[in-house]
Amino acid sequence: MLDPAILKNDIESLELNLERRNLDVDLKELTALDELRRELRFEAEKLRSEQKTLGKQIASADEKTKNELLDQASQMSEKVKELFEKVDVADKNFMDIWIKIPNLISTTSPDGISDKENSEIKKFGEIRNINNPKDHLEIAESLGLIDVQKASEVSGSRFSYLFGDLVKIEFNLVLWAMQQLSDKGFKPTIPPVLVRENALYGTGFFPDDAEQVYEIPNDDLYLVGTSEVPLAALHSNEILDTATLPIRYAGFSTCFRREAGTYGKDTTGIFRVHQFDKVEMFSFCDPEKSEEEHKFILSVEEELLQALEIPYRVVDVCAGDLGSSASKKYDIEAWIPSQQTYREVTSCSNTTDFQARRLNIRGKADGETNVLHTLNGTAIAVGRILIALIENNQTEDGKVEFSDSVAEIIGVKNLS
RNA sequence: GGAGGGAUGGCCGAGCGGACGAAGGCGAUAGUCUUGAAAACUAUUGUAUGUAUUCCAUACCGUGGGUUCGAAUCCCACUCCCUCCGCCA
């Protein structure tokens, strides 16, 4: 959520932002709603103040004047109640719209409407020349390492069974990533994957992306699509000592996504599934330093991919392709031989104060409090890393062979 | 799942219808004293919003409603914590 003060102080930035996001919002109406609620509140508070004074008089009044005052106070009470009801309505009218206003886009993010306008800022790694590259499913299925058919019988489409060495690789990857991150000051964390709706509102997934989230209606809980949600909410309603920042977490969790509206997209294998495991980085940091922190998180992502010898490129995500909470986002896309293109394997966002304001996360230094910045980034999205590892290291006879240094990380030299 | 007890400021803890944004203590910060430190003493010590900008007003005593002229205090619902019983990876 943005600071509503922007309506008064810097409406031009807001206008520009909505334009870049290709959104049409009536700012005049919003400003009017904001002014109305302020006005009403001012009036209501004034009256409330009078009511309190009157109430105090009653306490010390003699019997005679007391009845008179009580009469007066009774009427006053009615009025105050009515006025505050109006204030509540005005607040709600404003907030219903305001909560949907997305974060301010960084001036450094490229313009554009869709991912086609994302700008490539770096390429790394050598793309091996593979004759007739097979896709990961074909390879893994034939080696008995993945079964999506049986999974779709049991659970539906976009689920999978992983077997044998792929399981071993997953656990090794996760443990390795945790170790790397821990060395860099990220506290290893296993957060809850079921959360209340508050955490989803706070992180900006609700109300806009609610259709992507699995719901447990009996218990009013939701399955998270990323550990970003419980990690961000970890410090909600807290005031952190600025001297302790940045506070970094490395969260491991299974992630659940409904993938509504993606029918027909990426239907092969485990690229886009309803359930996958992920190690996620999350940072609470000083607003002054969030750009720096963002670059740091990106550099960690690159480091991990480089160690795994996966060719990739980094893209600066354009305005129209940013989620509502992100101010700036870098995606890393790994080379996928079967598709002869780069596909997203990690993503890191600077959400500036957007989530922190909603979650009420503040910092305090020298008696001053301010809303913090939060950032998140993928360390290892297991499924997609497995795909990149399998496809980029496939051999001509449909097997997989890893380099010694990669094998050392993942604990497996060959898939055959 | 059943039966009880509880939730107050950074922490402990009093208050149980009016002078309470909240006693007292601890902690923290500043000052006095001291060669320095400790101790002692003194003062300060939450957050947010506003048509207020070192003043003032309003809100916040787990959350949301209600009763009342007036609620930390009474009533209802919810959430969380603790104890006991049952069940359980």
Q: Would the pLDDT of A367 be above 90?
A: no
Buried b (16+ CB within 10 A) or exposed e, A226-257: bbbbbbbbbbbeeebebeebbbbbbbbbebbb
pLDDT value, residue A25:
92
A56 touches strand B (CB under 7 A): yes
CA distance A198 to A193: 14
CA distance A2 to A289: 19
pLDDT tens string A373-400: 999 999 999 999 999 999 999 999 999 9
A218/B84 CA-to-C1' distance in Å: 28
With beta carbons less than 8 A apart as the criterion, state whether A204 and A225 touch: no
A45/B31 CA-to-C1' distance in Å: 39
Query: Mean per-residue pLDDT for A129-147?
Result: 95
ipTM of model: 0.86
pTM: 0.93
CA atoms within 13 A of residue A257's CA, in its CB half-sphere: 19
pLDDT band per the 50, 70, 90 thresholds, residue A166: very high
CA distance A139 to A54: 81
A66 touches strand B (CB under 7 A): no
A196/B19 CA-to-C1' distance in Å: 42
**Nucleotide minimizing C1' to CA distance for residue A60:** B18
**Nucleotide minimizing C1' to CA distance for residue A75:** B69
A207 upstream amide cis, omega within 30 of 0: yes
pLDDT tens string A209-259: 889 999 988 888 899 999 999 999 999 888 888 888 899 999 999 999 999
Percent of chain A with pLDDT over 90: 78
pLDDT value, residue A261:
87
**Nucleotide minimizing C1' to CA distance for residue A71:** B69
| Positions on chain B within 7 A of a protein C-beta | 18-19, 47-51, 57-59, 69-70
What order do you get walking across the sheet with A119-124 strand by strand? A119-124, A312-316, A328-336, A341-350, A373-381, A275-285, A247-256, A186-189
Secondary structure class of A9 (helix, strand, coil):
helix
Q: Which residue is nearest to nucleotide B79 (CA to C1')?
A: A196
Query: Mean per-residue pLDDT for A162-176?
Result: 97
